[in-house]
């Protein structure tokens, strides 16, 4: 049995947990076992380092720390100041940003901070000016009415959901869709690519306060220089949500026109996904928005999570190491290899391939919905998620697509040869799965038929593929 420091740390932690609630300890151990045994192809997931994971389980969790570094509403935050300042310092150096705000609990929170910072900076009214200087007690009911009307009546232009955009870019199920009068830009129906001329035309017609770029299921690069020119042409604030591809920016795979930080007024991101940190969010901006961004708590955030900010500092420090750039490049190399392997086997891919970390498969060619394909692959040890494709006839629940990504498998050390083998396993499952029927015999969008022997065989092959690439090899739980 291993007696290295990582194994000792995690075994000891589980022993302490087990003494209080053994079922939680069992679930934690089972989660590690499940992740070790499956091909994780969810584009938004990764594996944080043991150092990052351990940075979250400590006494920082016990601290309230509303405010910012050096300006807290609670006493005794000097150590929180240290880790928050370190996380911000690493973020600024890593991305070349003037200002970094590392308190958001998630990507959605980061976007809310950005939206309200832009609104507070851009919308002029006597009520808002009073609120900005915190003269809240002086606001009359008429002031509040005017403030609500002005802040809730602004326009946002962002990428449509079926083209690869995100719920937080102004869609009704999310609070952003209730805050803004939103309109979407899509992609070219023939190519699946962003048509910048059409985006410019939509911006001229709609005149948004905020132009949002960024995606959760668009498998190509975005030209942020052109998008900034479009925003400037209509006087819009240009915001980029780089949650999915932040690791590719940090690793200098996306540079020049494809690096959002030099071009956007404000950039948001998560710190997990391709950045390989803890679950959380972050905002980057220039000095003109820094004061508004730093009011994220209490503007839209609750108390910061100091233990997660500590983990962010560790992960961002890791991302500044030279080997992270190699990792980021291998993410893209693996995604291209996976896309090529699927194409050679007859799959239909949105945009015909990828330039980033993700691949979007249109599974309608297999006679399946995304929901059917997702579950059949899961039965076979391959973890993916269903996703809409442009002009998806099955909507956002059943979908016609499967989104896959390579950050997690790249962390494990798999390379292009293993990506081709993964494409073969996926091809086997998708070609051997057929749509099922409901109780009334009508075609079902959820039920499917897959021979259990096929699922078992593919699952064993997937496990064999992973054997040379152990997950957390430094951690043995005994």
Are 297 and 424 found together in one domain?
A: no
Q: Are residues 89 and 200 in the same domain?
A: yes
218 classed as catalytic:
no
273 is catalytic: yes
> Within 13 Å and on the Cβ side, how many CA atoms surround 214?
29
Of the three residues 272, 288, 319, the one that is the final residue of a domain is: 319
Annotation says 371 is catalytic: no
**Number of compact structural domains in the chain:** 2
Catalytic residue (choose from 40, 72, 228, 273): 273
Are 243 and 273 contacting, i.e. CB atoms less than 8 angstroms apart?
A: yes
- In sequence order, what are the beta bridge partners of 443? 437
Which residues are CB-neighbours of 328 under 8 A, at least 6 positions away? 247, 248, 250, 251, 252, 253, 274
Q: How many CB atoms lie within 10 A of CB 404?
A: 31
Q: State the catalytic residue, choosing from 168, 268, 270, 399.
A: 270
Average pLDDT over residues 284-313: 93
Q: For this structure, is 66 an active site residue? A: yes
Range of the domain at 168: 59-319
Query: What count of other Cβ atoms lies within 10 Å of the Cβ of residue 34?
Result: 12
- In a domain, residue 254? The reply is yes
Answer with the one of 297, 319, 341 that is the final residue of a domain. Answer: 319
Residue 477 lies in a domain: no
User: For residue 198, what pLDDT is reported?
Assistant: 96
Q: What is the pLDDT of residues 172-195, one digit of tens each?
A: 677 776 778 889 999 999 999 999
Read off the pLDDT of each residue in 238-261 and give the average, rounded to a whole number: 97
- Short-list 9, 64, 94, 126, CA closest to 476: 9
89 catalytic residue (yes or no): no
- Among candidate residues 317, 276, 311, the one with its CA nearest the CA of residue 409: 276
Show Cβ contacts of residue 320 under 8 Å, excluding neighbours closer than 6 positions.
Answer: 90, 93, 94
CATH, residue 243: 3.40.640.10
Q: Known catalytic residue: 279?
A: yes
Helix and strand element counts for the chain (H, E): 20, 17
Average pLDDT (332-339) is: 98
Tens-place pLDDT, residues 94-128 = 999 999 999 999 999 999 999 989 988 876 656 66
Q: Which of 11, 45, 63, 64 is catalytic?
A: 64
Residue that is last in its domain, among 272, 291, 319: 319
Q: What mean pLDDT do residues 80-88 have?
A: 98
């Amino acid at each position: 049995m291993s007696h290295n420091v990582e194994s000792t740390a995690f075994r000891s932690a589980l022993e302490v947990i087990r003494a209080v609630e053994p079922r939680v300890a069992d679930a934690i151990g089972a989660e590690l076992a499940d992740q070790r045994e499956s091909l994780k192809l969810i584009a938004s997931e990764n594996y944080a380092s043991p150092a990052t994971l351990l940075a979250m389980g400590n006494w920082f969790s016990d601290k309230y720390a509303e405010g910012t570094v050096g300006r807290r509403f609670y006493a005794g935050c000097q150590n929180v100041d240290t880790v928050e300042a370190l996380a911000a310092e690493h973020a600024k150096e890593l991305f070349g940003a003037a200002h970094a705000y590392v308190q958001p609990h998630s990507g959605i929170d980061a976007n809310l901070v950005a939206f309200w910072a832009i609104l507070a900076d851009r919308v002029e009214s006597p009520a808002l000016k009073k609120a900005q200087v915190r003269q809240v007690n002086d606001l009359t009911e008429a002031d509040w009415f005017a403030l609500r009307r002005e802040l809730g009546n602004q326009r946002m232009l962002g990428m449509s959901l079926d083209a690869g955009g995100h719920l937080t870019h102004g869609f009704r199920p999310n609070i952003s869709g209730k805050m803004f009068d939103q309109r979407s830009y899509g992609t070219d129906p023939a190519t699946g690519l962003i048509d910048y001329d059409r985006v410019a035309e939509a911006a001229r017609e709609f005149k948004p306060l905020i132009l949002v770029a960024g995606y959760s299921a668009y498998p190509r690069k975005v030209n942020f220089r052109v998008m900034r020119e479009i925003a400037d042409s209509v006087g819009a604030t240009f915001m980029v949500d780089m949650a999915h591809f932040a690791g590719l920016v940090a690793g200098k795979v996306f540079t020049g026109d494809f690096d959002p930080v030099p071009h956007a007024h404000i950039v948001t991101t998560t710190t997990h996904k391709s950045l390989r940190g803890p679950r959380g969010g972050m905002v980057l901006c220039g000095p003109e928005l820094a004061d508004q961004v730093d009011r994220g708590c209490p503007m839209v955030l609750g108390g910061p999570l100091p233990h997660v900010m500590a983990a962010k500092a560790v992960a961002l420090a890791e991302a500044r190491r030279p080997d992270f750039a190699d990792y980021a490049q291998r993410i893209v190399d693996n995604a291209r290899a996976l896309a090529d392997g699927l194409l050679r086997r007859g799959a239909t891919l949105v945009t015909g391939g990828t330039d980033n970390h993700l691949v979007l498969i249109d599974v309608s060619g297999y006679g399946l919905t995304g929901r059917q394909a997702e579950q059949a692959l899961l039965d076979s040890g391959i973890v993916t998620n269903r996703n809409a494709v442009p002009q998806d006839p099955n909507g956002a629940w059943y979908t016609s697509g499967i989104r896959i990504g390579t950050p997690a498998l790249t962390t494990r050390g798999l390379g292009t040869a293993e990506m081709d083998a993964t494409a073969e396993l996926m091809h086997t499952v998708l070609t051997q799965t057929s749509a099922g029927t409901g109780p009334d015999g009508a075609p079902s969008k959820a039920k499917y038929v897959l021979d259990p022997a096929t699922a078992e065989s593919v699952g064993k092959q997937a496990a064999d593929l992973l054997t040379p690439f152990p997950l957390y090899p430094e951690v043995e739980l005994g």
